[in-house]
């Protein structure tokens, strides 16, 4: 008989002892008692560590490995892996033989096929078959609000830690340069989802040191950004402004050994204010208006101070243009409130979190507090959470539920979610 579920569920069943342990025996008929089932290991190596069992009258301390079938031990190459020499018990849904350690000694095996609590299987199956917004949609009200809130907070921190991995990569790539790391994060965020990789390329091709050196001249900054983005090449039409940018970039690129990126910027199917040409003009204006933005942010000021650094006007040319040489009606190209919020959420606050975590003994409370001062985003995912009764009142909670949905709910990773685990442990 096949288990019909994944190994993660069998690990969950073992972790919470959701099986009949009375008269438990190994497949060789030895009486076994589980004194400590061990701690789930989410890294490489055996599934559970620090377990304690008795077989007969002998106590054993060590690790426990979980498999759907006893043949998986050899299929996964555990006999040759020294990390599995500490395994004291092999737990399987179905088993027909003991397995061996690297030194040839046998590991006792327990079969759970006829002992598993059926209610746990039914609950899990119901979640996996649910077609609602999230698998637990109908059962979510039964989960304590405190459990929901603490898990959403954990999701927020996980989301921030994910960004930290990106910033750590930037730092490693730039030999620990905080200025370049922050600058890269900001430039990438200006690229928005569709052009973020290309904008990241721009940040590395056009180092912060050069931008900072020319921050007093908005025109030079525009020439550097547009030239590095590859937008000054092979133009069918130009005006005096574009011609000036071309000449300025030719001089500066020769001086610093700069080259346009190979990535192609995407212009299709986006609102005028989201066009990469507008975003590049805004980037130039930002570093002209706030050349010390990096230092200001690293001081962890009040949020309004950071917001004021993000209020600036582009050059006059861009008030009447959305792209090079094509004139349009005069419109301010200031960052909108929504654009500022996205920049805070996608770059500045996560970077503040990373900086605090790196420099302040792991204390990142200030950065997280920024999120409580920001309003929740408005999108379909957050609206669905609110329909389920989840309180999403600020960016602190909205960032948490967005991460929860993306990495857990949409993938039906209920066994890795505290909310899902609580539901599975409730009796039917």
Q: What is the DSSP string of 183-215?
A: HHHHHHHHTHHHHHHHHHHHHHHS-HHHHHHTT
Q: How many CA atoms lie within 13 A of 171 on its CB side?
A: 13
**CB-based burial, 289-327: b 16+ in 10 Å, e otherwise:** bbbebbeebbebeebeebbebbebebbebbbebbbbeee
Q: 344 in a domain, yes or no?
A: yes
Over residues 223-230, mean pLDDT: 97
Q: Which of 372, 403, 418 is the last residue of a domain?
A: 372
> In this structure, are 423 and 288 located in the same domain?
no
187 in the same domain as 101: no
Predicted pLDDT of residue 402: 97
For the beta carbon of residue 77, count every other beta carbon within 10 angstroms: 9
156 and 265 co-located in one domain? no
Least confident range from 171-185, 293-307, 330-344, 349-363: namely: 349-363
Q: Which pLDDT score, from 0 to 100, does residue 2 have? A: 62
Residue 32 has pLDDT above 90, yes or no: yes
Mean pLDDT over all residues of the chain? 93
- Residues 159, 186: one domain? no
At 121-146, the pLDDT tens digits run 888 999 999 899 999 999 999 999 99
Distance, CA of 41 to CA of 18 (rounded, Å): 18
Kindly report the pTM of this predicted structure.
0.87
**Residue recorded with tokens 């602190």:** 396
Residue with tokens 């919470």: 16
What are the pLDDT digits (tens) for 299-328? 889 999 999 999 999 999 999 999 998 899
Q: What is the DSSP string of 65-106?
A: EEEEETTHHHHTTGGG-GGGTTEEEEEEEE-SS-EE-TTS-E
Q: For residue 426, what pLDDT is reported?
A: 84
In a domain, 1, yes or no: no
Query: Which pLDDT does position 428 carry in this prediction?
Result: 65
The full length of the chain comes to 428
Instruction: Kindly state whether residue 44 falls inside one of the protein's structural domains.
Output: yes
In a domain, 233, yes or no: yes
Instruction: Determine contact, residues 343/355, Cβ cutoff 8 Å.
Output: no
My answer on whether 48 and 100 are in the same domain is yes
Do 63 and 24 fall within a single domain? Answer: yes
**Inter-helix orientation angle 178-190/276-289, to 10°:** 140
- Of the residues 372, 395, 420, the one at which a domain ends: 372
For residue range 77-98, list pLDDT tens digits in order. Answer: 999 999 999 999 999 999 988 9
Cα separations in angstroms, 102 against 79, 81, 349 = 5, 7, 49
Residues 321, 235, single domain; the answer is: yes
Q: What is the mean pLDDT of residues 375-383?
A: 94
Q: CA–CA distance from 318 to each of 178, 223, 284, 331 (Å)? A: 31, 13, 11, 8
2 occurs within a structural domain: no
Distance separating alpha carbons of residues 240 and 242, to the nearest angstrom = 6
pLDDT at 5: 87
Within a domain: residue 284? yes
Residues 89, 103 within the same domain: yes
Residue 270 CB: number of other CB atoms within 10 A? 14
If one counts the domains in the chain, the total is 3
CB atoms within 10 A of CB 269: 7
Does 394 lie in the same domain as 347? Answer: no
The answer to whether residue 348 sits within a structural domain is yes
- Asked if residue 272 belongs to a domain, the reply is yes
Q: What is the pLDDT of residue 1?
A: 45
**138 and 283 fall within a common domain:** no
Residue 66: pLDDT above 90? yes
Mean pLDDT of 183-204: 96
Under the banding of pLDDT at 50, 70 and 90, the label for residue 118 is confident
Report, as an integer, the average pLDDT of 284-301.
Answer: 93
Q: Do 139 and 167 sit in the same domain of this protein?
A: yes
**What does DSSP assign to residue 170?**
H
Specify the pLDDT at position 362.
Answer: 62
Q: In this predicted structure, what is the pLDDT of residue 363? A: 67
Domain identity same for 99 and 161: no
Residue 136 domain boundaries: 123-173+377-428
CA distance 93 to 11: 10
């Amino acid at each position: 008989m096949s288990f019909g579920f994944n190994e993660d569920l069998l690990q969950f069943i073992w972790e919470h002892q959701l099986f009949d342990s009375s008269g438990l025996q190994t497949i060789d008929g030895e009486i076994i008692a589980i004194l400590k089932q061990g701690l789930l290991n989410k890294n490489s190596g055996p599934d559970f560590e620090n377990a304690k069992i008795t077989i007969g009258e002998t106590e054993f301390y060590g690790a426990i490995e979980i498999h759907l079938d006893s043949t998986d031990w050899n299929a996964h190459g555990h006999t040759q892996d020294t990390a599995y020499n500490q395994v004291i018990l092999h737990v399987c849904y179905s088993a027909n033989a003991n397995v061996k350690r690297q030194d040839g000694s046998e590991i006792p095996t327990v079969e759970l096929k006829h002992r598993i609590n059926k209610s746990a299987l039914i609950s899990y199956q119901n979640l996996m078959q649910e077609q609602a917004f999230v698998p637990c949609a109908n059962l979510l009200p039964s989960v304590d609000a405190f459990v929901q809130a603490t898990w959403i907070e954990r999701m927020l921190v996980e989301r921030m830690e994910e960004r930290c991995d990106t910033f750590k990569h930037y730092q490693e790539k730039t030999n620990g340069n905080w200025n370049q790391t922050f600058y890269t994060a900001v430039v990438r965020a200006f690229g928005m989802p569709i052009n973020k990789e290309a904008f990241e390329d721009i940040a590395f091709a056009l180092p912060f040191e050069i931008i900072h050196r020319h921050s007093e001249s908005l025109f030079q900054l525009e020439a550097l950004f547009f030239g590095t983005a590859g937008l000054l090449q092979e133009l069918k039409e130009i005006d005096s402004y574009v011609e000036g940018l071309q000449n300025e970039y030719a001089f500066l690129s020769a001086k610093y050994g700069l080259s346009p990126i190979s990535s192609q910027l995407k212009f299709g199917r986006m609102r005028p204010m989201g066009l990469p040409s507008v975003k590049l003009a805004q980037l130039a204006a930002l570093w002209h208006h706030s050349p010390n933005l990096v230092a200001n942010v690293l001081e962890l000021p009040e949020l309004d101070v950071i917001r004021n650094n993000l209020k600036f006007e582009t050059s006059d040319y861009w008030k009447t243009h959305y792209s090079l040489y094509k004139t349009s009606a005069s419109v301010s190209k200031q960052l909108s409130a929504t654009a500022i919020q996205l920049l805070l959420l996608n770059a500045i606050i996560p970077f503040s979190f990373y900086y605090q975590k790196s420099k302040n003994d792991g204390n990142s409370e200030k950065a997280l507090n920024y999120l409580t001062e920001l309003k929740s985003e408005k999108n379909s995912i957050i609206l669905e959470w609110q329909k389920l009764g989840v309180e999403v009142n600020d960016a602190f909670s909205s960032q948490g539920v967005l991460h929860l949905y993306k990495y857990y709910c949409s993938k039906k990773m209920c066994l890795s979610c505290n909310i899902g685990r609580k539901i599975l442990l409730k009796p039917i």
